Amino acid sequence: MTLDDKGASSPLDSFYAVVPAGGAGTRLWPLSRARSPKFLRDLRGSGRSLLQETFDRLSPLCEDRFLVVTGTAHAEAVAGQLDKVPADAILTEPAARDSMAAIGFAAAVLERKDPDAVMGSFAADHVITDEAAFAQAVSTAVAVAREGWLVTLGIEPTFPSSAFGYIHAGAALEGHPGVNVVAEFVEKPSTETATEYLATGEFRWNAGMFVARPSTILDLLHTWHPEFADRLRELAADPSLVEAAWADLPKIALDHAIAEPAAAAGKVATVPAAFGWDDIGDFDSLATLLGGEESTSTVVLGEPELVQAIDTTGLVVPHEKLIAVVGLDDVVVVDTPDALLVTTRARAQDVKKLVNALKDGGLGDLT
């Protein structure tokens, strides 16, 4: 069925959700670890991991047409968290080969399975607060994708971020009010350039959410990387080859492999999206997500009774024992069974530097 009077959150005919579950979330250490990455963690205190929330958000749209692509190391944990997802819906990557291989392989699998398929790819570790708006945007994207477009959801920017790439929206797309052809994708800008972008009203954040027919994705890939596309189709035809062949696939992001050249060729459309999106890149954005931009109190992720804060603002994540904080502004305190982090929201980006220092210092086991 297509979008009908049941509203935007009804299942979309032949719509498949593909969720690449990867990435260590290094800047969220020690909550996020190589062995227990961000997407497996409940970072909102909702009782559900980010992966589970991603499933909860997508399943009304795709019903049982849900695929996860994850590393071998995480397959068991992913299966454990997604008890409604059958084992054959979890595609495992023997090695990390970036997003083109992961999403392209899912496309090749779906291309064989359902000639009417439209797939949407959504990261497993993003937060979306307005699910109805998300469903509406996906519905629109699916309709556009059926016509052969590679569709990207363009997040309406709420501030001039220098942490995201941008989508420059071009001409309006006929027949789809509000949808535009993508003029170009642009790399992460300076804050100054981002401010100029926002003033034009033509730029959106690139959250890496793509919707397309599987064959659109593979055909575009074939245009610029024919052997890569052929190889993915071979692997989908005979999955027993995956184990041996995977490590030799090109390591490239979908953005670079197809989205950017396809945009230059006028083949990418963008659907505007304003649904409260966050990729929770670091503890500063987690603090904002949980407590607002300029919180005047201490935000607790976990049991509030384990935190005693006096004259303090920031984020505190307790683990089993009391954390008492006195007289610190915008502090970040994160306790875990085997490591404790103390930093500030302003230095949240430097947690990555810390994790590298731990690895260099022989403490890689803790990262």
Residues that bind a second copy (CB under 8 A): 30, 308, 310-311, 321-328, 331, 333, 335, 337-344, 346-347, 350-351, 353-354, 357-358, 361, 363, 366
Rounded to whole angstroms, how far apart are CA atoms 248 and 251?
9
For the chain, how long is the longest CA-to-CA vector? Answer: 62
Question: In the bound complex, what is the minimum distance in angstroms from residue 367's beta carbon to a second copy?
Answer: 10
Rounded to whole angstroms, how far apart are CA atoms 57 and 59?
6
Which residue, 83 or 360, has its beta carbon nearer to a second copy? 360
Which residue, 1 or 326, has its beta carbon nearer to a second copy? 326
Which residue, 150 or 325, has its beta carbon nearer to a second copy? 325
Which residue, 251 or 353, has its beta carbon nearer to a second copy? 353
Rounded to whole angstroms, how far apart are CA atoms 354 and 142?
42
Residue 13 one-letter amino acid:
D
Which residue, 79 or 341, has its beta carbon nearer to a second copy? 341
Best CA proximity match to 265, nearest among 148, 120, 177: 148
Question: In the bound complex, what is the minimum distance in angstroms from residue 23's beta carbon to a second copy?
Answer: 21
Question: In the bound complex, what is the minimum distance in angstroms from residue 285's beta carbon to a second copy?
Answer: 16
Question: In the bound complex, what is the minimum distance in angstroms from residue 357's beta carbon to a second copy?
Answer: 6
Which residue, 2 or 356, has its beta carbon nearer to a second copy? 356
Residues 6+ apart with CB under 8 A from 112: 236, 237
Residue 313 backbone phi and psi in degrees, to 5: -125, 160
Question: In the bound complex, what is the minimum distance in angstroms from residue 336's beta carbon to a second copy?
Answer: 8
Residues 6+ apart with CB under 8 A from 321: 306, 335
Question: In the bound complex, what is the minimum distance in angstroms from residue 7's beta carbon to a second copy?
Answer: 47
Residue 332 backbone phi and psi in degrees, to 5: -125, 120
Which residue, 179 or 351, has its beta carbon nearer to a second copy? 351
- Helix extents (H) in 82-130: 98-113
Do the bridges between strand 127-128 and strand 180-186 make them parallel or antiparallel, or are there none, so unpaired?
Answer: unpaired
- Dihedral sign, Cα of residue 95, residue 262, residue 207, residue 7: negative
Question: In the bound complex, what is the minimum distance in angstroms from residue 361's beta carbon to a second copy?
Answer: 7
